[in-house]
Structure 1
Amino acid sequence: MHARWSIPRGTLLAATLLAVTGTFLSPVTSSSAAQQSASAGPTVASAPGAVVLTQPGSADAPGYRLDVATGQLALTTTRAGRTVLGTAPGDTGALRFRSGGQWQHATGVTGWSWHDGVLTLTADTTVAGATATARITPQADRYQLDWDVAGGSADQLGLAYDLASAGHWYGHGETATPKGGPGTDEPWPLDSGQVVHSGFGPASYEMIDPFWYTSAATGLRVDTGDVMDVAINGGQDGLGRFTVDSPATYKATVFVESTPLAVYRDYIGIVGKPAKSDATYAQYQKPLWNSWAQYYTKVDQQKLLTYATELHDNGLDGHTIQLDDRWESEYGNLTFNPATFPDPKGLSDRLHALGDDFGLWVTLWINLDSVNYQYAADHGYLLKSAADPAKPCTVSWWNGTAGIVDLANPDAQAWYLGNLKKLMSTYGIDGFKFDTRFFDESCKPDAGYAPADYQRLGAQLTDQFDQQGVGVRVHWTTNAHQAGFVTRQIDKGTGWNSLQASVTQNLAISTIGYPFVETDMIGGSSGQPPATKEVLVRWAQSASLMPLMYSSTSPVETVDTTTGKPVVYDQQTIDLYRAAIQQHERLAPYIWDQVQHTLATGDPIMRPLFFDFPQDQAAYSLTDEWMLGPAVLAAPVLATGTSRTVHLPPGTWYDVSGHRAVHGPATLTGYQAPLGTTPVFVKLGAPGAAKALKALR
């Protein structure tokens, strides 16, 4: 089919859009469109004030209709007669671009054509002489939207959506917010808070992907390797702005599905599912103990050995003792500081005798005062400056000023690998925690490489070592999803708000395609006074119902590094922390089954309730419950108090603490959960339910 329509410039047509609702939109499992013939293809027709693209449904996809308003270009996606995604109205504009430091947008559509399965639209803009061209390519469960601007000297392009048109919004990953995100704030859904993330890019330290999905079972993926500026309800304006810092063609995929889980699976079909898990069964079974929040940089050989011995003596079993920051003489030397670690081989031997592996924190960032810096600079092993490629790039971080090892240089990579392998052979080091980033936007990529490629190179390098259950924070780029790394969260505070953020952040990270999640160190860090007894215990209980446990603050005793004074916890703290570890250890066979399922399907292990129960409207705004696989519903206490409200979706649930069956949907108000109780429920009849019941009872 081939059609063409045009409007003389300056002619205004009234735009007719289907009403955009601000109410909750539940996904559908069937629609009249889905009953149409699977062989029917998309059609395009003109209507008063609009161009209408209709994609019939099939057995596997619900079908949809896309109305393109022509008076001012706007896009409204409907499914079964209901709006499920609409662009921003008014002066914001659907297709936005920055020109001369001012925001502009597409206005009246001046022409369209439908040819070879592509709907092409041209439109005037708010810049005289500048024209926007959009190309929409429909598929059964999505459409590709590519657009660009000719004239007007645009330097940024973006899409803007009315958030309420699609219900609630999720995805993104770790969020930058005015309330302290991602360390103390991770809104869930995203529209319940404010996301203002200007440095949203492939070299970011945050675990992020340019993918968002909604309660209306629509989704957005922006296909770019450039930095973005993302604002979701910024200033509580009800809008989602997704801007790419580039004048190149804007490429996006809009998913239209029956459930949010189906949208997620469509996305995984593009980026790939994990090919493996980098963590072993033992690393899922027991916690990793890392020195960071326990001592920060005030660590030495005797302190680390005392730490490990106390954990061992109190039955707080783990698989590894990991020495974090400040074991080196200078950052990047990759040699032990003899003043604080006089006998690293002896330390390693003692830890191994306790039954622990020994790991080290490392980084590719080499401080200027390190002897390795000058050596690396002289040999061309460092990334070059984007401003002056004749010089090494220098970056500021929390430990000073540094250069970054250039992983695109094979000689630089071989040199760095040689240093790590020497540590392993000399001192009996079993693995590493790789920290910081592999690239910085102030640096210049090597010829033939883009910034995102350094994520891939970093993943390939770190994957050669045992990462000991803390993985590496790579994202966004090719192979990041397939690599199957454990994802540790960005540093959290030590209060209730950070515990709460650790839960919603795991839901965000696992549903953008990184399923092997854990919180930041149990009890938090961020240089704050240690967690109170209640926060530490509740955090351990929460983490016990996640894929992995990542520990640091000892429930025996720790140090308040803000005062230098010791903090000694009581015996109940030790006992309850130990009980959380033991519960997680008993769950390990069930969790390992979920790991294997994820490797087969790509589905997340820890996920929001609405992935499993899409018709349960209450599930879409829950911030303190999740599914661990198909059988376990976790509802731990994440705030002060000894009771909470628990929501149970449809089905028959076994209340582990209450020793009873509960028929859902049900809301349990005032559910009693003193400090020793962790509310958890098993869905009877679900895959793995018998194994989960055995573990939890």
Structure 2
Amino acid sequence: MTIAGLSTVLIPASLLAGGSAAAAPESPRVTQASDASITITEPAQDGSPAYTITVNKAPFRITTSRGGRTVLATTTQSASASSSPVTFTAGGSTYAATRVTGSRWTQGKLTLSLATTDPGYHVTYNLTPKAGQYQVAWTVTGDSAGSVDAVGENYVLSSAGYWYGQGLTTTPQGGPIEDQPWPLNAGDVDNEGMGPSSHDRNNPFWYTSSSTGLWVNTNNDMNVQINHGQSGLGSFAVTGTNSYNSTVFVESTPRSVYGDYVAIAGTPQHLDDPEAYFRTPTWNTWAEFNTNVTEDNFLAYVHQLADNHIPGHAIQIDDGWNSNYGDYTFDSTKFPTPKAMSDEVHKLGFDLGLWMTLWINKGTKNFDYAKEHGYFFKSKANPDDVCLVPWWNGEQGAGIVDLANPDARAWFSGIMHNLMTTYGVDGFKFDTRFYAPSCAPDAGYTTRDYLELAHQFADDFDMQGLGLTAAWTGTQRYGFAMRDNDKGTDWHSYQAALAQVLSLSTVGYPFVETDMIGGSSGAPENPPTKEVLVRWAQAAALMPLEYASTSPANPRYDKETIDLYRAAMTLHERLTPYILKQVPRAVKTGEPIMKPIFFDFPDDKASYTLSNEWLLGDSLLAAPVDSDTTTRDVDVPAGQWYDVARQRVVHGPTTLRAYGANLAQVPMFVRLGTPDTGMLMRALHTGAK
């Protein structure tokens, strides 16, 4: 059958409105509403709602609707090819798909032929609907298709409401260190080089308040822009390919979209960290000393924490302990008796950890050895040379140990085990990336494979509750802790930390924590104020895990700082049994332990813009103070909630305006009538039975 305006159309008559088989339509149902469009209707099934996909032919556009309401829409053809629905770059120029020239529906898939702004190229576009989602796969073809170096799609952000996901974001306002929009389209996101080799924590997954979502199925680097320059557009481009593969989710709630993504990414196969790691924080020297850490000031720091009864299970020496970057020996000038130092740390009740990187600087003994034995990645430009990668600790560049090489992996593992047996080191903080795009991959390996190898390698060692600093779709299954990146020491950075932890938790990583409480970027010269440090500690107490560095016992602070900080850590300890009760569900289903209110209360419209409130489990509402004030508004969702500070019942939904919380108070609310109510009431010392 031919539809006017299409050069080639093969849509079976039984699938067109008014066809002879209309009484018993197949699923899904494809109709031509007019010569201007093709519509696919996916019926409700498997717990997912019915939805409709409308393909506008000229200009090309795709609109997704549910219940007669648009819930996601691509852009339409514009004067700028870069902001069109389907776009690609080739030879330094950007082109766009313009209109549908042909279509075919067969075996549950709609295949479209798209003309482009360059007659030498065309796009073959496939759309496959399923319950609750549809797959999109398209390829740029033509005589010069091999010159295509990036492909992308563009969406109208407002068509889907608020946008979330991705993990950490780069923004002109200082992200990811000092800024993280929540929701994403409330800011200006501009991420280049987002991919499996990135040092940031990202996933190519986004979800929206309209209960739609997008997952881009790629292991290549991406360029992502969300409302960049206040454009109102979401641009998701994949580099190094002429093909694009994505999944659009269409569900009834944002939580259901998240569930669909976790079904793809995977859930934690186990809990990587012992239960004790949830109880007390990991301490690290970075914010206190930067690279100026020595044996003397480190031991003074450990004693300071112990003498003031500040909880912790491990204390790590960050960057600055080794003699050369890559030789993995203690600097004998700064650390003259490392074994005795280790014994003293253990005597005080802490495990000892070390900062660790697989990047080995040129000029070190281990560089020469690893080069001679072929343990490094090779250069893409010259396969006979070591791939030298510039980084913040090596002007001449560093070689990266190739974990795909079994001998290299065994050699490096031996180095780490030697540190453990010789000095009594218990665990490690892994830092830097495990692969760089400038390096030549081993035959048959992708960037994603090296991320897998890194997780497998690190899993053999105790990461002391910190996990890794690299992520992509699929790394959820390792069950590692996940933290945001270095933060400044001001209120803006603290606020960014809260939004980032929520973001990481809702792309599939339930065991989350902020980076160092109080921040570390700019420290120790620019330490956090008393108020920032205490408020940050209070917020961290209401998260699954804690990571600390700035000591409240530092002489710059007063006794009240010590007492309030300790109180926050003690609060977290009291909540640990409740937190651990959430772990089996997180392992089984990927359910976030820390989550936005709208995950459990999708009708609570006020909660969709809140990054400073969350649910810990299903029964504790956390509303820490995140600014230099002693009041804040608190959004309380539907139901009955016990106000811990005021010892009263609050009936939601309601907003508590100018809720007072002095520096010693942490606004918390226990949901009444749940299986966990009693446990929480007892943990929070309300006196309830």
1:266 counterpart = 2:260: yes
TM-score by length of 2: 0.94
State the shift of 1:402 in Å. 1.0
Distance 1:202 1:300 in 2: 35
Structure 1 residue 520 corresponds to structure 2 residue 548: no
The answer to whether 1:349 aligns with 2:343 is yes
Structure 1 SS opposite 2:53: strand
Of 213-222 and 90-99, more deviation after overlay is shown by 90-99
- Displacement of 1:6 after TM fit? 6.4
Going from structure 1 to structure 2, the CA distance change for 1:585 and 1:189 (only over 3 Å counts) comes to: same
| Greater CA drift, 351-360 or 153-162 | 153-162
Match of 1:78 in 2: 65
Name the counterpart of 1:44: 30
Whether 2:455 is the aligned partner of 1:468: answer no
In the alignment, what sits opposite 1:634?
Answer: 622
* Residues 261-410 of structure 1 aligned to structure 2 (within 5 Å): 261-400=255-394, 401-410=397-406
What is residue 560 of structure 1 aligned with on the other side?
Answer: none
Deviations 1:526-563 (A, max 9, x none): 12400000000000001000011100000011xxxxxx
Q: State which of 111, 119, 144 in structure 1 corresponds to 2:135.
A: 144
Give the whole-Å Cα distance in 2 for the aligned partners of 1:289 and 1:629: 25
2:667 to 679, 685, 695: 679
Moved over 6 A (4+): 37-40
Task: State the match for 1:696 in structure 2.
Answer: 684
1:501 lines up with 2:504 in the alignment: no
Partner of 2:166: 172
Aligned to 2:543: 546
The equivalent residue for 1:201 is 195
Aligned partner of residue 346 in structure 2, secondary structure: helix
1:218-253 residue CA offsets vs partner (Å, 9 max, x unmatched): 000000111111000011000000001133321000
Deviations 1:118-140 (A, max 9, x none): 11111111112321111111101
1:256 aligns to 2:250 (yes or no): yes
Identity of aligned residues (%): 51
Residue of structure 2 equivalent to 1:602: 590
> Alpha carbon RMSD of aligned pairs, Å?
1.6
Question: What whole-Å deviation, never above 9, does each CA across 1:616-664 have from its counterpart, x for those lacking one?
Answer: 1111111210111101111000001111110101111111001100000
Amino acid at match of 1:576: L
**Structure 1, unaligned runs of 5 or more:** 12-36, 558-566
Residue 238 of structure 2, aligned match among 240, 244, 254: 244
Matched, 1:187 2:181: yes
Assess if the C-alpha contact under 8 Å between 1:459 and 1:474 holds in 2: no
Q: Give CA deviations for 1:175-197 in whole Å, capped at 9, x if unaligned.
A: 01111111000100000001000
Encode CA deviations 1:315-358: one digit per residue, 9 max, x unaligned: 10110111111110001111111111111111111111111111
Shift of the 670–392 alpha-carbon distance from structure 1 to 2, 3 Å rule, reads same
For 2:580, the equivalent position in structure 1 comes to: 592
Code of the aligned partner of 1:405: V
CA offset at residue 488 of structure 1?
2.0
Per-residue deviation at 1:9? 6.2
How many Å apart are 1:582 and its aligned residue? Answer: 0.2
State the shift of 1:102 in Å. 2.4
> Which deviates more from structure 2 when the two are superposed, residues 230-239 or residues 154-163?
154-163
Query: What is the CA–CA distance in structure 1 between the aligned matches of 2:188 and 2:518, rounded to whole Å?
Result: 25
Match of 1:131 among 84, 103, 122: 122
CA distance in 1, matches of 2:181, 2:626: 15
CA distance in 2: counterparts of 1:341 and 1:6, whole angstroms: 81
Equivalent residue for 1:616, pick from 600, 604, 627:
604
The residue type paired with residue 90 of structure 2 is S
In structure 2, how many angstroms separate the alpha carbons of the residues matched to 1:107 and 1:359?
57
2:96 is aligned, of 98, 105, 108, to 105
8 Å Cα contact 1:452-1:477 kept in structure 2: no
Given that 2:378 and 2:386 are in contact with CA atoms closer than 8 Å, whether structure 1 keeps it comes out as yes
Residue ranges of structure 2 left out of the alignment (5+ in a row): 10-22
Alignment match, 1:68:
55
Paired residue secondary structure (1:297): helix
- Pairwise CA distance, 1:384: 0.8
**Normalization by structure 1: what TM-score?**
0.93
Residue 370 of structure 2 contacts residue 376 of structure 2 at CA under 8 Å; is this kept in 1? Answer: yes
1:136–1:393: structure 2 CA closer, same or farther, 3 Å change rule?
same
| Cα distance between partner residues in 2 of 1:474 and 1:486 | 11
Instruction: Tell me the amino acid that sits aligned with residue 570 of structure 2.
Output: Q
Say yes or no: does 1:453 pair with 2:456.
no
Give the secondary structure class of the aligned counterpart of 1:481.
helix
- Which residue identity does 2:412 align to in structure 1? Y
User: Cα distance, 1:406 vs. partner?
Assistant: 0.5
- In structure 2, relative to structure 1, the CA distance for the partners of 1:225 and 1:6 (3 Å cut) is farther
Q: Is the 8 A contact 1:518 1:549 kept in 2?
A: yes
Alignment partner of 1:568: what SS?
coil
Is residue 114 of structure 1 aligned with residue 114 of structure 2?
no
SS at match of 1:425: helix
Shift of 1:105: 1.1
Between 618-627 and 146-155, the greater mean CA deviation after superposition = 146-155
CA contact (8 A) 1:145 1:251 kept: yes
Query: How far apart are the structure 2 equivalents of 1:503 and 1:125?
Result: 43
Within the candidate set 670, 673, 685, 2:658 is matched to 670
* Distance (whole Å) between structure 2 residues aligned to residue 662 and residue 261 of structure 1: 25
Q: Residue 90 of structure 1: CA displacement?
A: 3.4
Matched, 1:53 2:40: yes
Give the letter for the 1:539 counterpart: W
Distance 1:8 1:145, change over 3 A: closer
AA aligned opposite 2:48: A
- Aligned partner of 2:640 in structure 1 is 652
Amino acid at match of 1:319: H
- Determine the C-alpha separation between the residues in 2 that align with 1:145 and 1:126: 21
